[in-house]
């Protein structure tokens, strides 16, 4: 029997490798969980692959082949809230959505503020359908009072620190976090909302919040928080990453900080470039409640401009599951958050690529190599020797997101019934097909 040289071959796809600026029809060869080579289809390659069994060949004609998508802002809820999501269920949803790597946030119960909890997450993730990287807590218990043992967290394998869900109100504590993180060359991720301004609000402060009688979270709260943290980063010299940017003012502040040489990066989430606050009054759907809140058309335009000009470096989902019994409440009583792993790719294609704001290459860069570089992850490329984490995308697949498609334990998506224009066809992690066929 002929000995097969490769474990998996993806043939005739349009290969986008943002690390090399490569974008042409080619074959991707996988061996021992790594990228072995990329070359163009030829008579010689067809002859060499003639004896390969069907299960080792993926025909990617009319498809796009990219590095595995990376989402650096995901809430997997485990430990402590397994009734909302588990690491295994979240990673199944990720694979369905084309994501091969996730960074999970530390606002679990208990918080991920010690080595033991990091190790727990790693153990659970070992049998999951995506790679899971852990972001540790800046402060013990996410209380904003005392720094976590950041050195111990790094030894346990965290790739960044954040108090996501909470703004570090204490400026000195944030300064110290930036200083300690700089020692270990990891970023500090800020949830930029001044809670003295925003803490009691439930939606964007605007005409709509006044009309609906719902207390708002003013956009200036995000802007002030971004400016403070950018100035602290400039003073300290560390690395700052701004999570889920939602306002025009924050985009402008980040752009200004970058121009001044501050080591600052930022992410945008689909709900902040797709949804507007005037949608809330039409249904009072609590799945539209997120923090920071969905804003206005002016803010969407600014975020899209930030994605276009590079002010915003990457796209993340902020996947935040909540069970139906928690979301089935009055708007001001419901917890903030929505699902995102299974819809992010479709929303990016439908609302950014189809509308001409980003090319496929631009979008893939913001969902692969850029997040990998921000968090220091090994993926994000199809270079020879890189992990064989690969997403095969059907770029013109028209589909409707249905509740039966949801693989998360929770169901809190505002996008059920939405039509989208692309989705993942295969998701491959370490050379293993975890979604497809």
Q: What topology does CATH give the domain 69-375? A: TIM Barrel (3.20.20)
Catalytic residue of the set 113, 163, 318, 394: 318
The mean-pLDDT minimum among 1-5, 138-142, 226-230 falls in: 1-5
- Strand, coil or helix: what is 271? helix
Q: What is the pLDDT of residue 19?
A: 86
pLDDT surpasses 80 at 350: yes
Dig out the tokens for 311 from the structure.
Answer: 């002010």
Q: What is the per-residue pLDDT across 192-229, written as a single tens digit (0 to 9) for each?
A: 999 999 999 999 999 999 999 999 999 999 999 999 99
Domain ranges of the chain: 8-65+390-435, 69-375
| Residue in 44, 43, 35 with CA at minimum distance from that of residue 15 | 35
| Residue in 178, 214, 174 with CA at minimum distance from that of residue 194 | 174
Q: Sort strands 432-435 and 423-429 into parallel, antiparallel or unpaired.
A: antiparallel
Let me know the angle formed at the C-alpha of 275 by 417 and 97, rounded to the nearest 5 degrees: 55
Q: What is the pLDDT of residue 215?
A: 97
Is residue 318 flagged as an active site residue? Answer: yes
pLDDT surpasses 70 at 1: no
How far is residue 359's CA from residue 352's CA, in Å, rounded to a whole number? 8
Q: Which homologous superfamily does the CATH classification assign to the domain defined by 8-65+390-435?
A: Urease, subunit C, domain 1 (2.30.40.10)
Q: What's the predicted TM-score (pTM) here?
A: 0.97
The mean-pLDDT minimum among 49-53, 147-151, 352-356, 432-436 falls in: 49-53
Q: Which residue spans within 109-158 are E strands per DSSP?
A: 131-137
pLDDT surpasses 70 at 2: no
């Amino acid at each position: 029997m002929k000995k097969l040289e490769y474990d998996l071959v993806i043939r005739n796809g349009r290969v986008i490798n943002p690390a090399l600026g490569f974008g042409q029809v080619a074959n991707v060869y996988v061996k021992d969980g790594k990228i072995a080579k990329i070359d163009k289809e030829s008579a010689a390659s067809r002859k060499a692959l003639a004896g390969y069994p069907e299960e080792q060949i993926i025909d990617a004609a009319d498809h796009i082949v990219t590095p595995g998508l990376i989402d650096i802002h995901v809430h997997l809820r485990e430990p402590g809230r397994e009734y909302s999501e588990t690491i295994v269920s979240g990673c199944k949803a990720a694979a369905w959505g084309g994501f091969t790597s996730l960074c999970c946030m530390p606002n679990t119960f208990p918080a991920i503020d010690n080595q033991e909890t990091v190790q727990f997450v790693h153990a659970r993730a070992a049998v999951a359908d995506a790679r899971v990287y852990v972001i540790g807590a800046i402060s013990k218990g996410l209380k904003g009072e005392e720094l976590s043992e950041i050195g111990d967290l790094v030894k346990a394998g965290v790739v960044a620190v954040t108090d996501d869900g909470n703004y570090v109100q204490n400026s000195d504590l944030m300064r110290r976090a930036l200083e300690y993180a700089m020692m270990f060359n990891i970023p500090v991720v800020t949830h930029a909302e001044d809670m003295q301004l925003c803490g009691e609000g439930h939606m964007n402060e605007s005409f709509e919040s006044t009309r609906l009688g719902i207390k708002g979270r003013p956009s200036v709260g995000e802007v002030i928080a971004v400016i403070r943290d950018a100035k602290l980063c400039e003073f300290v010299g560390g690395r700052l990453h701004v999570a889920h940017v939602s306002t025009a003012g924050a985009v402008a502040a980040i752009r200004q900080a970058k121009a001044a040489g501050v080591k600052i990066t930022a992410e945008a989430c689909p709900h902040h470039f797709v949804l507007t606050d005037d949608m809330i009054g039409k249904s009072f759907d609590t799945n539209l409640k997120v923090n920071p809140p969905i804003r206005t058309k002016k803010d969407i335009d600014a975020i899209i401009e930030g994605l276009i000009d590079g002010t915003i470096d990457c796209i993340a989902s902020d996947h935040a599951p909540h069970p139906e019994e928690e979301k089935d409440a009055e708007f001001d009583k419901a917890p903030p958050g929505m699902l995102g792993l299974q819809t992010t790719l479709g929303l990016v294609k439908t609302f950014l690529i189809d509308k001409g704001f980003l090319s496929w290459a631009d979008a893939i860069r913001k969902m692969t190599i850029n997040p990998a570089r921000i968090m220091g992850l090994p993926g994000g490329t199809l270079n020879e020797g890189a992990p064989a984490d690969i997403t095969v995308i059907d770029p013109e697949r028209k589909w409707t997101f249905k509740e039966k498609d949801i693989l998360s334990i929770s169901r809190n998506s505002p996008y059920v019934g939405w039509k989208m224009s692309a989705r993942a066809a295969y998701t491959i992690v370490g050379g293993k097909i975890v979604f497809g066929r």
